[in-house]
A and B are shown apart, each in its own frame.
Chain A
Amino acid sequence: MLTKTLWENNTHKWIICGRDPEKPDRIIDTNQYMIKTHNRLLIMDPGGIELFSAMLNSALEYSAINEITDLFASHQDPDIISSLGLWDRALPKARLHAPWLWEGFIRHFGMEHTEYVRIPDEGGEIDLGAVRLTLVPAHYLHSSGNFNVYDPQLKVLMSGDIGAALEPGQPPLFVENFSEHTKHMEAFHKRWMPSNKAKQHWIDRVRKLPIEYMAPQHGRIFKGDDVKRFLDWFEALEVGSAIL
């Protein structure tokens, strides 16, 4: 699995794990992100069961197991958090930050030792000591209880399924040609995002944030002007319309 530091300052770093060549072919490719401070590690959308071994190896490159203190699940999907039962055994003292709405559902993945931190609908924070991350509501995009993670220091928005692209093979990490890239995003957003109203609400919200990088859970990362291009493109796209 590719494990690479993307951005860092003197307090913390962002790491991406993905493009796993050993991933079974029929499983959708996912990006997992980690934030490492000097003594803690947060894994965002840690992924499915099939990725667990590779993810564990990647995480341990940066932290001892007892320093992996926080997990974040943007929503309840299996590619986001079905590995929870294994992390639950592996991590001695961890907290899972996830939408309050999905607690009873997510616990089906197996959860005995981990603390479930319910994120209220209006959002909240994850305090890692060295950095406070903002949990930005992104409900109905696509899940009815859904959050993004915003890092105000490094100006990174982990956008979950928003901005996701389905591309074959092992595409580069960053969007290189936005217009070209839209063909890999269009069908996904039309089908998976059910509400134009929710879409507009989210766009209005994130336009107020200074964002240098937008990092989705599938596909490539947007940087600089491509973030604005994405927001404009998404605003103009009629969603929830793929089968109508």
Chain B
Amino acid sequence: MLNQTTLQALVDSFEGRTIPPYVLAATLATELNSTKQTAKQLSLCSKNAQAITARADEWGKGFSGITDYINVTANIMISLADSVGELAQGLTKASVKSVFEQKMAANLDRLSDKAFQNHPELHQLKEDILKSADQFTEKNLNAVVLLKKNLREIKDCNRTLNSIVAICRIEASRAGPFQDSLWAIADTIEDAVLRLKDRILMGDRLMNLME
């Protein structure tokens, strides 16, 4: 996984050359892949918390109200992470196709005027290629907008989870003999929040590079 230093090294290695959008999109897909795994762990953690609160009976009543929130938020995150992965992979493919269209258009541009005079159908071909290139560009722009939206929503979910951690700790402290077990649940969620924050930050940086 990339961190701030390795991302900078990656950017520097291109020595001022533009990093192809398909590289950034594929890197984004890889870097945010762990978001889904973390969200799945959170969902599992909420199930674990449910089991503890059931055993804790009266002691666990305060905490049990929170477990559903954790599970719902984790499931929203899983779905958002899936969507980010699909969008980023789609963007990789479309960016590759866009490179070919641009190459084709550039090659047609180099044809002589005589070629266009003798073969007027080349005008149509060039127009079609440019139109297709525009369509890919538009598709890519839309994908970037959607990716940004999904990243924002993942960020919102993470903020919610961060708030839940504080509530978890309060409720865990009231759980008497079950305090340690529920405190450990809060620790797990807090750790996940930090990991997610790190990945979201990386996602933001990669999105900035795309722009």
Question: Which A residues are closer than 8 A to B by beta carbons?
Answer: 49, 52-53, 56-57, 60-61, 64-66, 86, 89-90, 92-93, 113
Chain B: interface residue total (CB-CB under 8 A):
23
Smallest CB separation, A22 vs chain B (Å): 9
**B93 close to A92 (CB less than 8 A):** no
Residue of A with least CB distance to B7 = A64
Q: Would you mind naming 12 contact pairs between A and B with Cβ atoms under 8 Å apart?
A: A56-B26, A57-B29, A57-B30, A57-B92, A60-B29, A60-B30, A65-B27, A86-B22, A89-B20, A90-B23, A92-B14, A93-B13
Judge if B211 is at the interface, Cβ distance under 8 Å. no
**B27 close to A52 (CB less than 8 A):** no
Smallest CB separation, B34 vs chain A (Å): 11
Contact with A along B1-36 (1 / 0, CB 8 A): 010001001100111010110110011011001000
Q: How many A-B pairs with Cβ below 8 Å?
A: 50
Of the residues B6, B27, B92, contact of A53 by C-beta under 8 Å: B92
- Complexed CA–CA distance, A92 and B13 (Å): 6
Q: Which A residues are in CB contact (< 8 Å) with B96?
A: 52-53, 86
Judge if B144 is at the interface, Cβ distance under 8 Å. no
Q: Which A residues are in CB contact (< 8 Å) with B26?
A: 53, 56-57, 60
Tell me whether A56 and B14 are in contact in the complex, defined as CB-CB below 8 angstroms, given that A61-B30, A66-B9, A90-B22 are known contacts. Answer: no
Smallest CB separation, B22 vs chain A (Å): 7
Of the residues A56, A66, A93, A113, contact of B92 by C-beta under 8 Å: A56
Q: Which B residues are in CB contact (< 8 Å) with A89?
A: 20, 99
Tell me whether A66 and B13 are in contact in the complex, defined as CB-CB below 8 angstroms, given that A53-B96, A56-B23, A57-B92 are known contacts. Answer: yes
Smallest CB separation, A62 vs chain B (Å): 9
Judge if B181 is at the interface, Cβ distance under 8 Å. no
